[in-house]
Amino acid sequence: MDIIKVENVDFSYVSQNDNGKQISNKVLKNINIDIPEGQFLAVLGHNGCGKSTMAKLFNGLLIPQSGKVFVDGIDTADENRIFDVRQTVGMVFQNPDNQIVATIVEEDVAFALENLGVLPNEIRKRVDESLKTVGMYEYRDHAPHKLSGGQKQRVAIAGVLAMRPKCLVLDEPTAMLDPKGRKEIIKTIKMLNKDFGTTVILITHYMEEAAQADRVVVMEQGEVVLDNIPERIFSQVEFMKKIGLDVPQTIELFYELNKNGFSLNLEILDIEEQAEQLADAIKGGNYGISN
Amino acid sequence: MLRDITIGQFFPGDSPVHRMDSRLKLILNLAFLVIIFIADNYLALGISAAFVLSLYIISGISLKFIFRSLKPIMPLIIITSVLNLFLLTGEGEPIFKLGFITIYWQAIDTTAFMILRLFVLIAGMSLLTYTTSPIVLTDAIERLLSPLKYIRFPVHELAMMMTIAMRFIPTLIEETDKIVLAQKARGANFEEGNLITRIKAFIPIIVPLFVSAFKRANELALAMECRCYHGGDGRTKLRQPKLAIVDLFAFLVFLLFTIIIILTNIYF
């Protein structure tokens, strides 16, 4: 079943200019996406392509001007069920500092459940469970500002997990982290997807992160331009470069080699397999340097 | 440089004073304020001082913090003492007379009593913040004020604001640090010039700090909305304070203290 269904969605930000005239800025044009339960989806696109706006449609933070968004069968425009929508689709943002509310880790993780009026015993149970899931249980009585970036972001994820969402939307969760923190977060996300069957929508700038997804959606100027498995996306090196995006470095290397006569398969993303392929090509004497 | 600032003056611990229910602690603290003003002789004040002192010892808070708590009110004490000393009149002959200054024995007596009373009062009240973390204290205030909800007083909103403020103080201090360094790197000078130039030098710090604080507030509001925040209606709490034996004991001790003070008032 599709956990999120986006049907013919248009979205514009409306603002007023200096003369008091309304200007509308269309950021999403005729978006159609179905996301099946349990999928790990990565969304790529450079700044201003509308990917963050799209993320905000997924849990009813924004309501489209035309078209519909369904979360687990619920229309996000239905105000009476907005809390059901937000419980189903949890959202994690870029800056961990700006999404932690309380001064103690466990209090922050409990925040969503307190809002939902869950009973104290159940809150305690779920808070412990979420903190253990992201590996932050030992830090439950720490002050958030004393944690590292990766740890803070894991607390933020735990705060959302406590609602037991079926789907997790992460809007560039690693953008402000160091490489170590980035690794921690990606490991956590993949674990949630594999072991708990949580649907994951990861908006990112890092091609290496997107390469690990089941499916990649590429956005450009408010439209979905590519939607496929990562192998098929990153093999289109020229197209990706044309719209200002990168491909994983190994693919870039293979692409450059192919330009010089190699015939390497660009549709493999596993580093081990890539290495074998390259080794075979070199062993075969096919250096392919034509000039 | 700014990073070492601690918020409040909380000293974590596991003494009976720490473990007391924060609501009871807050109420007893207010009752203490009243009792200190009821106490009208030196013996009663002396007993109160001994009571506060023993509480400090029980809670394991170093006695030097008594003096630290008194520091901020020193100017107030000095000014009122001086005024009292010179302006109060009493019966009999003044013991000191020089031009328009006259000092009576009673004035000295009243002033000394007032100083002692304020010392005991402040030392006792400070024990509350020394032994209760700000978050627990906020919680206690929210719970104690909750009946005011019925007259539309925004109790929950107030508590939420206090919590968020406490949460963001370290973050914003860190941010200020960064801005100061960034402005210094651009040649800003905060150490020289007269008062006005120095104050002006802080504008390039305040402006970016405010801009960033607003940005943070915006993002925080989004994150809170994502976690189904909709005000205080129907909200539950992770921590459920329960009155324990220690609270009953504390209450009885305090009751005993109150009775002793009232008795000394009557018989001395």
Looking at the predicted structure, is the pLDDT value of residue B44 above 70? yes
> Cβ(A143)–Cβ(A103) under 8 Å?
yes
Is A236 within a domain?
no
Pair A225, A283 in one domain: no
Cross-chain Cβ contact B223/A124 below 8 Å = no
Q: What's the gap in Å between the CA of A98 and the closest CA on chain B?
A: 5
8 Å CB contact of A91 and B219: no
CB contact under 8 A, A101 and B235: no
pLDDT, position A170? 95
* B171, B219, B227 ranked by CB distance to A145: nearest: B171
Kindly state whether residues A59 and A99 are assigned to the same domain.
yes
Q: What is the pLDDT of residue B93?
A: 76
Same domain for A270 and A162: no
Q: Is residue A107 part of a domain?
A: yes
Cβ atoms A163, A169 nearer than 8 A = no
Distance CA B242, CA B248 (A): 11
Confidence of residue B4 (pLDDT cuts 50, 70, 90): very low
- Is-contact A257 A288, C-beta < 8 A? yes
* Together in a domain, A58 and A201: yes
For residue B87, what pLDDT band results from cuts at 50, 70 and 90? confident
Residues of chain B positioned with their CB less than 8 A from the CB of A160: 226-227
**Domain range spanning residue A264?**
248-291
Same domain for A272 and A166? no
A275 and A153: one domain? no
Flag whether A239 is in a domain.
no
In whole angstroms, how large is the CA radius of gyration of chain A?
21
Nearest chain A CA: its distance from B199 CA (Å): 29
Q: Is residue A202 included in any domain, yes or no?
A: yes
| Domain-embedded: residue A282 | yes
Is the per-residue pLDDT at A161 higher than 90?
yes
Q: Quote the pLDDT of residue B23.
A: 93
- pLDDT per position as a tens digit, A70-128: 999 999 999 999 999 999 999 999 999 999 998 889 999 999 999 999 999 999 999 99
Task: Check B223 against A113: CB less than 8 A apart.
Answer: no
Contact A163 B228 (CB under 8 A): yes
ipTM of the prediction greater than 0.90, yes or no: no
Answer for the pair A120, B236: CB distance below 8 angstroms, yes or no. Answer: yes
CATH number at residue A204: 3.40.50.300
The answer on A184 and A288 residing in a single domain is no
Looking at the 3D structure of chain A, how many domains does it have? 2
pLDDT tier at B117, thresholds 50, 70, 90: very high
> What would the DSSP string read from start to end of chain A?
-EEEEEEEEEEEEEEE-TTS-EEEEEEEEEEEEEEETT-EEEEE--TTSSHHHHHHHHTTSS--SEEEEEETTEETT-GGGHHHHHHHEEEE-S-GGGG--SSSHHHHHHHHHHHTT--HHHHHHHHHHHHHHTT-GGGTTS-GGGS-HHHHHHHHHHHHHTT--SEEEEESTTTTS-HHHHHHHHHHHHHHHHHH--EEEEE-S-HHHHTTSSEEEEEETTEEEEEE-HHHHHT-HHHHHHTT----HHHHHHHHHHHTT----TT---HHHHHHHHHHHHHTT------
Touching A: B residues 185-214, CB under 8 Å? none
Shared-domain flag, residues A129 and A172: yes
Beta-carbon count within 10 A of B79 CB:
10
What is the C-alpha to C-alpha distance for residues A30 and A210, in angstroms, rounded to an integer? 24
Do A178 and A50 sit in the same domain of this protein? yes
User: Does any domain span residue A240?
Assistant: no
* Residue A173 and residue A46 share a domain: yes
Of the residues A198, A230, A262, the one at which a domain ends? A230
- B3 DSSP assignment: G
A175 and A274 fall within a common domain: no
Distances (CA, A) of B115 to A6, A98, B55: 72, 46, 21
Q: Which residues of B are less than 8 Å from A128 in CB distance?
A: none
Within a domain: residue A157?
yes
Residue B8 confidence (pLDDT): 55
Q: What is the pLDDT of residues A20-40, one digit of tens each?
A: 788 888 899 999 999 999 999
Cβ–Cβ below 8 Å for B167 and A144: yes
Phi, psi angles (nearest 5°) of residue A219: -115, 145
Residue A194 lies in a domain: yes
User: If you average pLDDT over residues B81-94, what whole number do you get?
Assistant: 82
Q: What mean pLDDT, rounded, does chain A reach?
A: 90
The verdict on A95 and A138 lying in the same domain is: yes
Q: Find which of B160, B236, B237, B240 to mutate to test the A interface (most A CBs within 10 Å of its CB).
A: B236
Chain B partners within 8 Å of A79 (Cβ): none
